[in-house]
Amino acid sequence: MALDWFDRVTEELQDDLESICEKYDQIGHMSIDKGAKHPRIEFFVETEENGREYFCTLFFDPLNNEFYVESFDLDLDLISRTILEDIDDIIDAVHDSFHDYLDEEDDISDFYEVEADEVDFEDEEEYETLEVDWETPEVTAYIAENEEVEISYKFGVIQETGDGILQRINRVKTDDNDLIKDEFNFIFSKDEASTIIAMIASHMDSIKSLDIEQ
């Protein structure tokens, strides 16, 4: 597997990014995985909880000796690749993704910067009674072998905003044979959907099954 171009880019990339972007120099990090079939360079920001938020993944095709990034096409329901011809294209792709991430974080911060005394019961009640057009029925994603745990999902569109909503429903059967039901809603815009899908698709091999003992 020829990795000369991959090694040359990884050697130059960090210094080049730090020199053109002061903000990246402060908080941007990258990790290298050469063991995959298509080696990759992942870029991330460390969170306060010692976690990582990834904002860009560069893949390298050793057969064609080229870098590429992946995105999800909602219209075609396919993952597409954008080939990055040279080091300038690679730097631009990472730099643009970094600032897209920062802009998105700023939007989220602005949304949640609400004083506690501004949130009242009526606001919470309005959130609980969102009008949703459910586009799919409830689909079972996981059932434990003893059938004591069941996880299902359904997808809908919020009428007022047009945002997508993914609802996760957990059902747990207790020792007393009582059924506990818990729901969690994840709301996102069309602009975010392709990034979310592509990030999940790119890291499927890293995710463990619920049936695997931790």
Q: Residues 112-137: what's their mean pLDDT?
A: 61
The pLDDT assigned to 117 comes to 46
Q: Is the pLDDT of residue 115 over 50?
A: no
Q: Please compute the mean of the pLDDT values over residues 186-211 and round it to a whole number.
A: 84
Q: Which of 57-61, 105-109, 175-179 has the lowest mean pLDDT?
A: 105-109
pTM of the model: 0.51
Helix intervals (H) in 57-166: 87-112, 121-128
pLDDT at residue 127 in the model: 47
Residues of the chain with pLDDT > 90, as a percent, come to 22
Pick the CATH number of 131-192 from 2.60.120, 3.30.70, 3.10.450, 1.10.3470: 3.10.450
Higher pLDDT, 174 or 19: 19
Residue pair 154/138 in contact by the 8 Å Cβ criterion = yes
**Domain coordinates of the chain in residue numbers?**
4-113, 131-192
Per-residue pLDDT, averaged over 132-147, amounts to: 85
Q: What is the mean pLDDT of residues 19-36?
A: 86
Q: What mean pLDDT do residues 79-88 have?
A: 89
**Residue 20 pLDDT more than 50?**
yes
Please report, as a single letter, which amino acid is at residue 62. P
- Which long-range contacts link 66-74 to residues 24+ away (Cβ below 8 Å)? 66/5, 67/5, 67/6, 67/9, 69/93, 69/97, 70/198, 70/201, 70/202, 71/194, 71/195, 71/198, 72/193, 72/194, 72/195, 72/197, 72/198, 72/201, 73/194, 74/190, 74/193, 74/194
Identity of residue 190: K
The C-alpha angle 71, 55, 37, rounded to 5 degrees, equals 60
Confidence (pLDDT) at 109: 57
Mean pLDDT of the chain: 81
Share of the chain above pLDDT 70, in %: 84
The mean pLDDT of 37-43, rounded to a whole number, is 90
